Amino acid sequence: MDIQRLEGLRGCGGAGFPVHIKWQAVANEATPEGGKVIVCNADEGEPGTLKDGWLLNEQPRRVLLGMQRAAAMVGAVRAYVYLRPEYTEQLRFLQVAINDLIEDGFLSPGSGAMWNGAGFPGRSVQRPGHPLPPQEMPNIAPAAATGLPLRLDIVLGGGAYICGEETALLESMEGRRPQPRHKPPYPTQSGLWGLPTLMNNVETFWWAERILSGEIETPGSHRLYSLSGDVERPGVYEAPVGITARDLIDHFGGGVVNREQISCWIPGGAASGVLPASCLDTPLSPEGLKEVGTSLGTAGVVVYAKPTQPVEVAAEIMKFFADESCSQCTPCRLGNRAFSDWISGVHEWPEPEVTERWLEAMELGSICGLGFTAPLVVRQMQRWFSEAVV
Amino acid sequence: MSHDKITFNLDGEALEVVAGTTLLDACRSKGAQVPTLCHEDRLEPFGGCRMCLVELDGAPRPVPACKTNVASGMVVRSGSDSLERVRGTIAEMFMAEHRPATGGRPNAMDKVAKRFNLGAPPIQFPERAQYHDRNRFIGFDTDACILCNRCVRYCDEVMQVTALEHSGQGPNAIVQPTDGLSFLDTSCELCGGCISSCPTGALYEKQSQGVEESSCDTTRTVCTFCGVGCVIDLNTKDGKVVKVTAEQGVGPNDGHLCTKGRFAWQFIHHDDRLSEPLVRGEDGELHAATWEEAYARVAEGLTKVKQEHGADSIGFLASSRCTNEDVYVLQKLARSVIGTNNVHSCAAT
């Protein structure tokens, strides 16, 4: 019933899945030998997103407490923070926070070990240094205060964008090339080493802790917005879901640098595509952004002042996707590469019929979200800046 | 393993299959033409090429038939217009990076191009760096590679050698011998199984480079290098062996071969191959002789050894390349004529 208190909170990692449904799904799974697993996805890699790094610097204890609460509620005994490897400062704060929580009796003694996740280029077989599977680390002593066993360790990420995709992250933790798995089964049923796994974003655990500790009464009413680009005061801001980008930029960000005009902006991380200045009064909410063809994503708002051209921004995003494709499935590997070349002018655009077919093949044929949401960037360009793309 | 039957709906018809059957196998059993590139029956399903996508009611987007098991009550369509369009577009994507190989092996992309009536692709990606090393057997034409990972998985799953890897990501993703080394410096056993699993002919037999496999005559026979009895096909051109292949699903080897079976056939037409008996003369040199002269010389030598040192000072070792009948006769010779039980065949090990 405690899980129901989270109703209204949506995952803050990009997909926006209802948190209480995911937690309930893991809670409902039978506990297999080896136990259930909690993973905090701290592989913050979405361009324009910086809230998780900020949170781990400022409030790592609350993030970890969110994980601890989740473990108690779904019955997990192992927990991992999969940390973006560039976050070296955050790593130190995390280690301090973990030690404090062991002392305070929330985590089992021995917690805080550091492991490696696999990345690219890598061999398709295991290399040492990855988290030990349950059979090699079977006994977890109960934590002093809670009486529940919970071993919480840190895994340094593989250093690729795709490592933040939940199943690629699991592959990386298990020591293989971080290539997304086919779903179903979902991680809630069969995740790390085939165990039921609850994976949430850093910010999601942070909100969950604030909600479950009684600090917040309306789950999902606010988000942490990462504001960057050509604004006077870039940073991470807690603001209501539904605030307009204009308000966010003016009231929190101090306006555009040098009072320049806005050329275009990104609402929720690179994968949410580029919007024109005419959409600045759109509410930053799932519903509001759906109206203009996109989503709130990671709530990473990036502002581009003139004379930056929207097509330059889109080209950069598509090149990023092309470079970061794990190269497992064809539509993502070659589709992103083609659109990167077309949009940046390396190759001439083909007939619109071809463009449409290639977008469709990516949307329908890719394995994971990288492949099937990347076409959104092109479609948004077609919708808002049609003169620039074909 | 369960043999329970489950029923599902494929293209409007109810179909009963054994639980655990993949959608691909179910489609094929019904004759549905689902194209594949990364799938190979000897390997675990991969689901990377996306050619075998089928529509499944309730799924947010098409699912790979090779990687999806049939579940009771599924409603599946294997060949809608939309599916064919997506498959054709993915094939077109492959053509943007694929260049026909020069090794002479069959190329599945020809069939794919024909099925989807593909013309010139709307974009052509730059050529890859070519791969060279000193190994004599396995050639790799990188521009023909479509990253289906069949060779990598063959090496992992069947040979358990892991001499090949899928490395890098995005435009830089390639298949290569592990860590970019020469095949000779990896754990490669030069079995050439990767060649047999490659659908595009990117991997080929160096010794047979340029010989069109489709233009060869084949003679099915049994490899004589050891006692396993692998079924092989001698590929011949103008009456001479030019390549050895093995068909999947045939014989005890199911298309697998070792480095000897696949690559060591040059002795057949080699200049150094003995075609008549040679006997060493008084001058210390070998001279051509008749079989009678050769047998007489062997008998003379063995008799002398037996007289001087006894029968058990002689041992007979049969080559694994001998037939059962050969080996029988050899032990008969040892036991009845020489009088020793010192007989062994290296096929026993």
Q: Other CB atoms closer than 10 Å to residue B54's CB: what's the count? A: 27
Under an 8 A CB cutoff, do B125 and A334 touch?
A: yes
Residue in B68, B89, B170 closest to A361 by CB = B89
Q: DSSP letter for A181, please.
A: P
Residue A129: its pLDDT value, please? 86
Beta bridge partners, B234, equal B219, B244
d(CA A101, CA A94): 10
- Decide if pLDDT at A122 tops 80: no
- Decide if pLDDT at B336 tops 50: yes
Query: How far is A293 from chain B, CA to nearest CA, in Å?
Result: 18
Residue B139 tokens read as: 């050639």
Query: How far is B242 from chain A, CA to nearest CA, in Å?
Result: 34
Q: DSSP letter for A271, please.
A: G
Q: DSSP letter for B159, please.
A: S
Q: What is the domain class of A222-308 according to CATH?
A: alpha beta
CA atoms within 13 A on the CB side of A38: 30
CB A197 within 8 A of CB A188: yes
Q: Which residue has the higher pLDDT, A388 or A266?
A: A266
Summarize the confidence of residues A56-79 as an average pLDDT.
98
DSSP secondary structure letters along A194-238 = GS-EEEEEHHHHHHHHHHHTTS-SSTTSEEEEEEEESBSS-EEEE
Q: Other CB atoms closer than 10 Å to residue B209's CB: what's the count? A: 14
For the domain made up of A311-388, give the CATH fold: de novo design (two linked rop proteins) (1.20.1440)
Residue in B49, B68, B82 closest to A330 by CB = B49
SS3 A316: helix
Under an 8 A CB cutoff, do A330 and B86 touch?
A: no
Under an 8 A CB cutoff, do A121 and B169 touch?
A: yes
Best to test chain B binding among A125, A126, A325, A330 (most B CBs inside 10 Å): A330
Residue in B92, B93, B170 closest to A323 by CB = B170
Nearest to A268 by CA among A232, A292, A233, A251: A292
- Decide if pLDDT at A326 tops 90: yes
d(CA A324, CA B240): 49
CB A334 within 8 A of CB B96: yes
What pLDDT band is residue B3 in, cutting at 50, 70 and 90?
A: confident
b/e per residue, B162-187, with b = 16+ CB within 10 A? bbbbbbbbbbebbbbbbeeeebeebe
Per-domain residue ranges for chain A?
Answer: 3-212, 222-308, 311-388
Summarize the confidence of residues A220-242 as an average pLDDT.
98
CB B152 within 8 A of CB A327: no
Q: Which residue has the tokens 């007289």?
A: B307
Candidates 3.40.50.1820, 3.40.50.300, 3.50.50.60, 3.40.50.11540; correct CATH number of A3-212? 3.40.50.11540
List, for residues B144-155, the tens digit of each pLDDT value: 999 999 999 999
Beta bridge partners, B176, equal B165
Cα B245 to Cα A378, B152, B180, distances in angstroms: 47, 19, 27
Q: Which residue has the tokens 């069949």?
A: B150
Domains of chain B listed by start with CATH number: 5-79 (3.10.20.740), 216-273 (2.20.25.90), 278-348 (no CATH)
Query: How far is A370 from chain B, CA to nearest CA, in Å?
Result: 12
List, for residues A268-324, the tens digit of each pLDDT value: 999 999 999 999 999 999 999 999 999 999 999 999 999 999 999 999 999 999 999
Cβ neighbors of B191 (< 8 A, separation 6 or more) are B159, B161, B256, B257, B258, B259, B262
Chain B nearest-CA residue for A123? B165
H runs (alpha helix) in B22-133: 23-29, 81-97, 108-115
Under an 8 A CB cutoff, do B93 and A335 touch?
A: yes
Distance of CA B2 to the CA centre of its chain: 31
Domains A3-212 and A311-388 share a fold: no
Query: How far is A334 from chain B, CA to nearest CA, in Å?
Result: 6
What pLDDT band is residue A1 in, cutting at 50, 70 and 90?
A: low
β-strand B5-10 against B13-18: which pairing, if any?
Answer: antiparallel
List, for residues A92-114, the tens digit of each pLDDT value: 999 999 999 999 999 999 999 99
Q: Other CB atoms closer than 10 Å to residue B194's CB: what's the count? A: 27
d(CA B26, CA B65): 9
Residue A228 tokens read as: 């960057």
- Decide if pLDDT at B225 tops 90: no
Q: Evaluate if pTM is beyond 0.90.
A: yes
Chain B nearest-CA residue for A120? B168
H runs (alpha helix) in A213-351: 245-247, 286-291, 310-324, 330, 336-344
3-state SS of chain B: helix, strand, coil percent to 5?
Answer: 35, 20, 45
Q: Is the omega angle on the peptide bond into residue A121 within 30 degrees of 0, that is, cis?
A: yes
Residue B5 tokens read as: 């039957």
Summarize the confidence of residues B296-324 as an average pLDDT.
94
Under an 8 A CB cutoff, do B169 and A162 touch?
A: yes
Q: Which residue has the tokens 């020069």?
A: B102
List, for residues A43-56, the tens digit of each pLDDT value: 999 999 999 999 99
Residue in B96, B169, B178 closest to A120 by CB = B169
Distance of CA A389 to the CA centre of its chain: 28
Query: How far is A224 from chain B, CA to nearest CA, in Å?
Result: 29
- Decide if pLDDT at A121 tops 90: no
Residue A388: its pLDDT value, please? 85
